[in-house]
């Protein structure tokens, strides 16, 4: 008998507020199985005025749906703020780089460390 797919505990994602409002730390997997959780947790912030700063240091994996989630946030912020992605691991940074060059977005930044960043 075939066993149902069960997501391993290591394939979860968590979203933690760092400053109580516009800076969040993500941990785990930004993948299809976690997309609704990410959108549910962060979309309200992406629909408000100001920058959305995401600390990605502890993101272990990202698939194409995870990339879509970040694209979605950038589109929500268009004309109101920037999507600032802080310190993603190198393999994830390479997947996110096209967002910084996408002519229809123009509001995505990838930075190493917070370096005085504060939400606008």
- In the predicted model, what is the mean pLDDT of the chain? 87
pLDDT band at 117 (very low <50, low <70, confident <90, very high): low
Q: Which domains does the chain have, with CATH numbers?
A: 12-111 (3.30.750.24)
pLDDT tens figures, 15-39: 999 877 789 999 999 999 999 999 9
Beta strands 13-17 and 52-62: pairing type?
Answer: unpaired
The pLDDT tens digits for 59-92 are: 999 999 999 999 999 999 999 999 999 999 999 9
Does 112 have pLDDT greater than 60? yes
**Contact yes or no for 53/84 (Cβ under 8 A):** yes
DSSP line for 37-104 = HHHHHHHHHHTSSS-EEEEEEEEEEE-HHHHHHHHHHHHHHTTT--EEEE---HHHHHHHHHHHH-TT
Q: Binning pLDDT at 50, 70 and 90, where does residue 5 land?
A: very low
């Amino acid at each position: 008998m075939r066993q149902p797919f069960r997501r391993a505990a290591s394939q979860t994602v968590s979203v933690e507020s760092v400053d109580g409002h516009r800076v969040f730390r993500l941990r785990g997997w930004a993948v299809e199985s976690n997309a609704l959780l990410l959108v549910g947790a962060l979309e309200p912030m992406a629909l408000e005025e100001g920058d959305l700063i995401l600390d990605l240091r502890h993101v272990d994996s990202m698939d194409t749906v995870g990339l879509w989630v970040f694209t979605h946030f950038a589109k929500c912020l268009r004309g109101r703020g920037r999507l600032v992605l802080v310190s993603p691991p190198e393999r994830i940074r390479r997947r996110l780089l096209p967002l910084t060059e996408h002519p229809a977005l123009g509001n995505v930044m990838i930075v190493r460390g917070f370096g005085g960043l504060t939400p606008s």
